[in-house]
Chains A and B, each alone.
Chain A
Amino acid sequence: MDKKLLLAEDDDLLASLLKFRLEKEGYEVAWSSDGRKVKEQLKKQIPDVIVCDIMLPYFSGLELIAYVRKDLKSNVPIIIISAAGNEETVLNAFELGANDFIQKPISLSVLLVRLIKVMKKT
């Protein structure tokens, strides 16, 4: 059975590329381009893994992590991706409950490996 992956990324091109690649790897990818939609998606169904950009419209990636961990009380693995790889943001994300962090530019091979790893851990 395919693993359900929620991709929260506001860059259409990158999201499309990631979606394409992840689907090719057997993931069932649901893509949301802003925080609100991500929340709606999460309300409907909690995926097996979330790949989330930090900078998102309406709700940032950090807020979404907090929402998943505190409001939904879910332990679903979350990988955050961001071009703004400053230490504070990353630490904040991990503090809130992110499982991994990948800085842009993303190596898709690395992303796939990390996805497998975080899913194994949880």
Chain B
Amino acid sequence: MLWNLTLLFVVLAITYFLGIFFYRNKLTNKAQRILKLKRELSPIISEFIFHEEEDSKNEKSQYIKMKIEIREIIKDDFSRSILTEILLDLRKDISGEAQKRLLEVYQDLGLHHDAFAQLKSWRWEKVSKAILDLTLMQVPEAYRFMTKFINDKRSIIRKQAEIAVVSLKHEGLNYFLDTTQYKISEWQQLKLIEVIRNLEQYQPPKFKAWLTSTNTHVVLFALRLIKYYNQNDAKASLIELIKHKNNQIKEQAISCIKEFYMVDALPTLKAVFSKSATDIKIAILEAIAIMGNPSDIDFLRSVVNHESNFAVKSKAVSSINAIAPDSIIPTIGIENPDSTSILNNEVVTDELRQEPKKDVHKKKAHNVLNSEGLQEITNVLDTASEDAILEDIDLDFLPVVTANPVGKESIEKTSETPAALDENKEAVSIDFDVDALAFLPLVTENDQKISNKIKDSEEAIASVFDLNVTYTVVKAEQYRYTTKSVLPLNKLNTDFKRFSASDIFELTVNYTELHVEKPVENIVVNEPYFIEPSIINVRRNKKDTPPYARSTKSLFQKIMPLPKENIFKKILQKLIHIDEDVTINEREILKSPLLEFENEFIDINAIPNLDKAEESKPQKTTAYKIEIPKSELTDELITQWYIPEKDTEAALQLLLDDLEELGDFRELDVLNELLSSTANTAFIERIENLITRFSKEQEDLNFDLRPNPKINQKAFNVFEDLFQSCDLEAKLILLDEVVTVGDEGDLNFLEQLVCSEEAVLKTKAQQILKALQLKLNIPTEESVNVKNNSTSEISNNDTENISIEIIPTPKAYKQLMNTLEIEPSTETNDIFDIDFEVEFRTVELEEIDEVSPEKEKTKERASMMRQLYSFSTKIYKQLNG
């Protein structure tokens, strides 16, 4: 039984192998035959394509000879199919006159008849291929055959036929649109448009004719074509199609209407709006935005009010703004900068006092804390000379001590001060726009006890809401200007460059007393917001200064400039007496983000009290007792503001700070200039460091930007390619082949293999690499080592001898090949010139001694494999004569 089974499996195995060999050889021979035929046919085809009437007699006779020859060749079906294949291939590679001639050759040789025959096949792939061939070869006779496939059940054939019909004849599209009953996919529509686009001298029909088609896909395609060819004569149909049930048609119709600016469609668009889907609604709103007029805004407003869908609502808003720009301005998340202004005429009512609770407070307290809110302070500085007019100076350098949560609102104008405030004789009333006083500390009076446990600013803000505060309603239109040309400073700030210096100096500031109801105990102090005063332009012209600008100017002189180390310290000392012993219950310090201090002139370290407050920040909020002096700002209070002059060490220091933080290699020139101009060793060292850093960056950048001359495309390596799909045994066999046919290009591949994880492969690769190097006369690592060692040991006179030793000799190569059991090729490197029947020269063979029995066996095996390999080919050849 076992023997029978063995026999059966042996028979099966033999049959299997024979089958494989036979089939493989069949394929190989077919491929060879095709190649041979192609080589034979290609010059003939070239001759046909480039034959000209003006050719010489010799060429003409050659042409006729070839014509006869090709007629003979194409009698064979196989040859015909190959010829067709060649022509189809060439059709893709050539264009112009040569292509036209190629198409003629195809028809002249009657190859299209094969395609016609295949159209009758029941196999869809054959039919499809035939349609494709006929389409590519542009055989007009094929048109009538193609039309039959327009409504074929098989979608692939149908789609192929659609393209064929459209491309073969200009009226093909009309026929297709008239007759098709099936869906035309989006992709197919695009393909058809592409085909039509490439048709020469194509006159598109009036596609509105198909807007009445019963096939909705035809209508849709017609709409696309109408839009593509700008056929705007279908107004009535398009407007009617807005009411179509199909959303795609509706959308396409709206798109056309929008494209052709059909204003007449607006009423219909509005009418269908309510019942439309969201996408359609958006499309309608887009159309109204483009074509609409102010009378449509009401409709759009009603959409905004009644529509629940956010996208539609947003679109309606944008449409309103498109028709009437800036009709609707952003309202959500917008801070009201006017809320910080003080109005003279406003009396705070009881209602208003009670109305704003936590939410409002919170928002406004944020305003106070938020640096943005503090950036509105703009002022002008006159330095030494009274006549100097300075522009663009910010005064956000002073601490903000909030008097109440709403900060600046607590300060009110004298004339309208509530009675309660008036009664307090010590109250300070200031009569000017609050922004002008933004440099002053804002003091918060707190009647309630602030919790000891407040640790973060959020909680601090929340606690501020509990303060007993006086509120003022502030409206933008209620600004009262004390002189004819005074503008609100916040506005002045934003549009500063629009105003002349005289406008700024027209601002009148009247000092009023600052009212404090009780001795201040619980005060919230915001840390100052520092902005570097920037002087854009100084114009020293007396005439530019109006007489009424004096009062403001004096204030500026009082404020600016002050040496940086003194300014904050002095103001704090004059205005607020800080007592560190007061407990936390009494007061909290709210700290604005210290980020604001970056790149500023103010040296925080120079302000001791602030430092202490800052140091204590992470651990525990420090409490301070602050006393507000009940006096006006005096000249002594505000002295010179520090502005570092150019070319000073401080300026250089700042410049280097900036460069260090923000600079890049572009600053190298500046740095080199600075290096040559400065004598300070500390600066020199710093500049040198920066130069080094930026130079490196530049090098890196240059390296990145440099066009890479090396091509990333790796050269194709046949062995590497084969290795990817091989098992270990096959890899080892392939490695043997590398020695035989390999060249320099394979060295890299072998080096990669040497690093392989598989020990067998690694060893083999090492041997092969060595053998290949020997073969190619490339010094191996060993030989190089030998050379190095030798040169070090032996005198120069002996170098020649050594070099003789290390150059790989044919003997060494063959010895190695013998070790590897590989038959080496001839010396040629060309893969196509390899003679696999190479024999060693007798002399060299004699030199090869001692072959182990194991190696002999392997050799025999290899020879057997070769015989098996060629066996099937031989059988096939014999069978085929």
Chain A residues engaging chain B, CB cutoff 8 angstroms = 11-14, 16-17, 20-21, 24, 35-36, 57-60, 62-63, 66, 70, 83, 92, 95-96, 104-110
Chain B residues engaging chain A, CB cutoff 8 angstroms = 38-39, 42-43, 45-47, 49-50, 86, 89-90, 92-99, 707, 709-711, 713, 715-716, 745
Beta-carbon contact of A95 and B92 below 8 Å: no
Known A17-B45, A58-B715, A63-B711; contact A12-B97, beta-carbon cutoff 8 A: no
Task: Please indicate the chain B residues that have their CB under 8 angstroms from the CB of A108 in the complex.
Answer: 94, 96-98
Known A20-B46, A58-B716, A95-B707; contact A13-B89, beta-carbon cutoff 8 A: yes
Closest A residue to B41 by CB, please name it.
A13
Closest A residue to B95 by CB, please name it.
A105
Beta-carbon contact of A17 and B46 below 8 Å: yes
Residue from B93, B97, B716 having most chain A Cβ neighbours under 10 A: B93
Task: Please indicate the chain A residues that have their CB under 8 angstroms from the CB of B93 in the complex.
Answer: 11, 13-14, 17, 83, 104-106
Indicate which residue in A13, A63, A105 contacts B38 across the interface (CB closer than 8 Å): A13
Apart from A63-B713, A96-B709, A109-B98, 12 more pairs, CB < 8 Å: A17-B42, A17-B90, A17-B93, A17-B94, A17-B98, A20-B46, A21-B50, A24-B50, A36-B745, A104-B93, A107-B94, A108-B98
Closest B residue to A67 by CB, please name it.
B711
For this complex, 12 residue pairs linking A to B, each with C-beta atoms less than 8 Å apart, are A11-B89, A13-B38, A13-B89, A13-B93, A17-B45, A21-B50, A35-B715, A58-B716, A62-B711, A104-B93, A106-B93, A110-B96
3 nearest A-B residue pairs (beta carbon): A107-B96, A20-B46, A105-B95
Closest B residue to A9 by CB, please name it.
B93
Closest A residue to B50 by CB, please name it.
A21
Residue from A16, A17, A66, A105 having most chain B Cβ neighbours under 10 A: A17
Beta-carbon contact of A109 and B46 below 8 Å: no
Q: How far is the CA of A45 from the CA of B859 in the complex (A)?
A: 43
Beta-carbon contact of A58 and B745 below 8 Å: yes
Beta-carbon contact of A107 and B38 below 8 Å: no
Beta-carbon contact of B92 and A105 below 8 Å: yes
Task: Please indicate the chain A residues that have their CB under 8 angstroms from the CB of B94 in the complex.
Answer: 14, 17, 105-108
Q: How far is the CA of A71 from the CA of B715 in the complex (A)?
A: 17
Task: Please indicate the chain A residues that have their CB under 8 angstroms from the CB of B745 in the complex.
Answer: 36, 58
Q: How far is the CA of A23 from the CA of B185 in the complex (A)?
A: 48
Task: Please indicate the chain B residues that have their CB under 8 angstroms from the CB of A16 in the complex.
Answer: 39, 42-43, 46
Task: Please indicate the chain A residues that have their CB under 8 angstroms from the CB of B39 in the complex.
Answer: 12, 16
* B83 → chain A closest CB, angstroms: 11
Task: Please indicate the chain B residues that have their CB under 8 angstroms from the CB of A21 in the complex.
Answer: 46, 50, 98
Task: Please indicate the chain A residues that have their CB under 8 angstroms from the CB of B710 in the complex.
Answer: 66
Q: How far is the CA of A106 from the CA of B86 in the complex (A)?
A: 16
Beta-carbon contact of A109 and B96 below 8 Å: yes
Beta-carbon contact of B715 and A109 below 8 Å: no
Q: How far is the CA of A95 from the CA of B707 in the complex (A)?
A: 8
Closest A residue to B102 by CB, please name it.
A17
Task: Please indicate the chain A residues that have their CB under 8 angstroms from the CB of B38 in the complex.
Answer: 12-13
Beta-carbon contact of B713 and A62 below 8 Å: yes
Task: Please indicate the chain B residues that have their CB under 8 angstroms from the CB of A66 in the complex.
Answer: 709-711
Q: How far is the CA of A5 from the CA of B97 in the complex (A)?
A: 23
Task: Please indicate the chain B residues that have their CB under 8 angstroms from the CB of A60 in the complex.
Answer: 711, 713, 715
